[in-house]
């Protein structure tokens, strides 16, 4: 359902980089108590969402608990993401930030990695599961030195749940005592699981087997009964549409994971939301995963100094749908000397080459980010990483999605052109972008480069990174969200009593 979902990794002989594929698939490690983490308010953008009635699912049989029927807390993102109940004089720096990780049956995570050859119909995912889910190291052949020497990987855009889990294993505030935890993580690789069944005519009973078995197991756990799962969270590496099948028709797409009552009580982090109140989009993984603070800063300095000869660029493939604006965007790019086109239809696989993609975005002032198979694109984050100002054509491509990681003011870091204006040829992209004042371009680029750490996932096992990255912001956001839910439940129970 997203760009390059069927794409193959380019072979080393035809690419500008080599793949170091000697690493094995990640293994599950034991979690230990750690101490020390910093917290603070992030620049969380505005979003208006109506309150809705949320159900509480008892452990035994999944029926709605009529005793506690409440509105979920307003999603005021200025509060969500800020842990406010940490006592100022408490010597335990992890107070209010402990996370407990379930030890799930291996079929929900580890076995999927062991069976990585069959995770996707047309791609061998084993290569991408190496290096803790980051994929093979990128060794740049180019003399231009497009990348930094270290910390670049050929990361698959659907690897988020593996990367997040491996990073959480090194989170400083893990606990083996679930009663001490502020949040409980469910390490189910739902995206990898569903990916093996999206093509090939698998019936719905096969697709739904693992999700149903998981929630049945969760509902029996004492940790679940404490808040009926409202302090639980999952991370899935695909878009929400892949988990919202509403019928039992075998021809319909995906699983019904997110429609199961238990899942609707949990908070779910994913790469694209369907505007559900318990879904929280976080950035797609990029190719850059620093293991030291200095690597963040070195890259930012490099992006400040790099020359950008092209006004705008587009990296992507055309679409057959008449409703897509991609064909018009490609035409306008091809007709302008100011545009650099990286076509994903030409068979060279350059769109999956981290060096080639980064080079194109580095050379551009603006990077076009139209919807593809869904509203969002991994390319958005690749362009931000390269210091290229994204141009959006639909608000669901970013403005209504990554509310913890991107500024509330979309015009501070991007340009918006309504897709209807492009489709009906009322706007010529070249003219529109060329009229943006230079002072505004400089301010947007400054903002973009400052955002780079916020949209990057560090190397999972690194313990020396203190810069707040995408992982850290997501953890802070989920802790704040669950705290708000907990306060709401407490207030309701107090009122009832």
In a domain, 295, yes or no: no
How many domains does one find in the chain? Answer: 2
Q: What is the pLDDT along the chain (497 residues), one digit of tens a residue?
A: 444 333 333 333 344 445 544 333 333 334 333 333 333 333 323 222 222 333 333 333 333 333 333 344 444 444 445 454 454 556 789 999 999 999 999 999 999 999 999 888 778 899 999 999 999 999 998 788 999 999 999 999 999 999 999 999 999 999 999 999 999 999 999 999 999 999 888 999 999 999 999 999 999 999 999 999 999 999 999 999 999 999 999 999 999 999 999 999 999 999 999 867 899 999 999 999 999 999 999 999 999 999 999 999 999 988 877 677 999 999 999 999 999 999 887 666 788 899 999 999 999 999 999 998 899 999 999 999 999 999 999 999 999 999 999 999 999 999 999 999 998 889 999 999 999 999 999 999 999 999 999 999 999 999 889 999 999 999 999 999 999 999 988 765 545 44
> Quick one: how far is CA 196 from the chain centroid?
20
Closest CA to 378 of 397, 399, 362: 397
CATH number at residue 395: 3.40.50
CB atoms within 10 A of CB 60: 9
Quick one: pLDDT at residue 32? 39
- Give the DSSP letter of residue 272: B
Residues 448 and 470 in one domain: no
Residues 75 and 212 in one domain: yes
Is 365 a member of any domain?
A: yes
3 state DSSP class of 392: strand
165 & 311 share domain: no
What is residue 84's predicted lDDT score, i.e. its pLDDT?
Answer: 47
- Distances from the Cα of 262 to the Cαs of 34, 232, 258, in angstroms? 30, 10, 9
In a domain, 5, yes or no: no
In this structure, the answer to whether residues 171 and 277 fall within a common structural domain is yes
Q: Would residue 298 count as lying in a domain?
A: no
Q: Could you tell me if residue 384 is inside a domain?
A: yes
Residue 297 lies in a domain: no
Are residues 265 and 363 located together in one domain of the fold? no
Residue 292 placed within a domain:
no
On whether the CB atoms of residues 16 and 141 are closer than 8 A, the answer is yes
CA gap 201, 169 in Å, rounded? 36
Q: Are residues 277 and 355 in the same domain?
A: no
pLDDT computed for residue 38 by the predictor: 35
Same domain, 260 and 336: no
The predicted pLDDT at position 352 comes to 87
pLDDT of residue 25: 37
Q: What is the pLDDT at residue 373?
A: 86
Q: How far is 455 from 133, CA to CA, in rounded Å?
A: 17
Residues 210, 164 within the same domain? yes
Examine the domain organization and report whether 474 and 366 are in the same domain.
no
- Residue 16 and residue 94 share a domain: yes
Convert 82-129 into a string of H (helix), E (strand) and C (coil): CCCCCCCCCCCCCCCCCEEECCCCHHHCHHHHHCHHHCCCCCCCHHHH
Backbone angles phi, psi at 222, to 5 degrees: -60, -30
Indicate the pTM of the whole model. 0.83
Query: b/e map of 75-114 (b: 16 or more CB within 10 Å)?
Result: bebebbbbbeeeeeeeeeebebbbbbbbebeeebbbebbe
Largest CA distance in the chain: 71
Helix or strand or coil: residue 338?
A: coil
Shared-domain flag, residues 58 and 140: yes
What domain range is 270 assigned to?
A: 12-286+457-492
Tell whether 200 and 259 lie within a shared domain.
yes
């Amino acid at each position: 359902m997203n760009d390059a979902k069927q794409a193959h990794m380019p072979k080393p002989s035809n690419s500008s980089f080599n793949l170091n594929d000697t690493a094995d698939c990640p293994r599950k490690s034991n979690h230990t108590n750690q101490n020390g983490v910093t917290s603070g308010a992030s620049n969380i953008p505005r979003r208006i969402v109506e309150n809705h009635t949320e159900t509480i699912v008892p452990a035994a049989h999944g029926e709605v608990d009529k005793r506690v029927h409440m509105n979920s807390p307003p999603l005021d993102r200025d509060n969500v993401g800020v842990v406010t109940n940490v006592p100022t004089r408490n010597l335990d720096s992890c107070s209010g930030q402990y996370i407990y990780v379930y030890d799930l049956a291996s079929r929900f995570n580890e076995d999927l990695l062991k069976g990585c050859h069959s995770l996707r119909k047309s791609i061998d995912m084993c290569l991408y599961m190496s290096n803790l889910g980051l994929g093979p190291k990128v060794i740049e052949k180019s003399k231009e030195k497009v990348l930094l020497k270290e910390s670049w990987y050929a990361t698959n855009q659907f690897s988020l749940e593996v990367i997040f889990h491996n990073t959480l294993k090194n989170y400083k505030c893990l606990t083996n005592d679930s009663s001490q935890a502020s949040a409980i993580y469910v390490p189910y690789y739902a995206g990898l699981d569903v990916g093996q069944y999206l093509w090939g005519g698998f019936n719905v009973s096969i697709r739904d087997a693992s999700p149903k078995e998981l929630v049945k197991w969760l509902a029996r756990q004492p940790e679940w009964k404490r808040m009926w799962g409202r302090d639980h969270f999952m991370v899935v590496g695909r878009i929400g549409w892949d988990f919202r099948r509403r019928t039992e028709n075998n021809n319909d797409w995906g699983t019904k994971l997110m429609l199961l009552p238990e899942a609707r009580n949990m908070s779910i982090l994913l790469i694209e939301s369907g505007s559900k109140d318990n879904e929280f989009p976080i950035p797609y993984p990029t190719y850059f995963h620093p293991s030291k603070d200095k690597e963040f800063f070195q890259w930012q300095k490099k992006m400040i100094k790099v020359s950008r000869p092209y006004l705008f660029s587009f990296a992507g493939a055309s679409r057959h749908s008449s409703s897509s604006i991609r064909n018009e965007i490609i035409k306008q790019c091809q007709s302008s000397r100011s545009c650099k086109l990286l076509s994903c239809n030409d068979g060279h696989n350059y769109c999956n080459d981290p060096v080639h993609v980064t080079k194109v975005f580095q050379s551009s002032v603006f990077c076009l980010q139209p919807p593809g198979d869904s509203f969002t694109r991994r390319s958005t984050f690749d362009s931000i990483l390269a210091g290229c100002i994204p141009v959006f054509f639909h608000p669901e491509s970013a403005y209504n999605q990554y509310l913890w990681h991107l500024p509330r003011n979309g015009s501070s870091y991007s340009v918006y052109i309504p897709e209807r204006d492009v489709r009906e040829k009322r706007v010529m992209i070249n003219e529109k972008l060329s009229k943006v004042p230079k002072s505004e371009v400089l301010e947007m680029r400054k903002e973009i480069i400052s955002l780079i750490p916020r949209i990057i996932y560090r190397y999972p096992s690194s313990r020396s990174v203190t810069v707040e990255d995408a992982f850290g912001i997501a953890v802070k956001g989920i802790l704040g969200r669950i705290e708000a839910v907990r306060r709401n439940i407490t207030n309701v129970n107090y009122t009832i009593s």
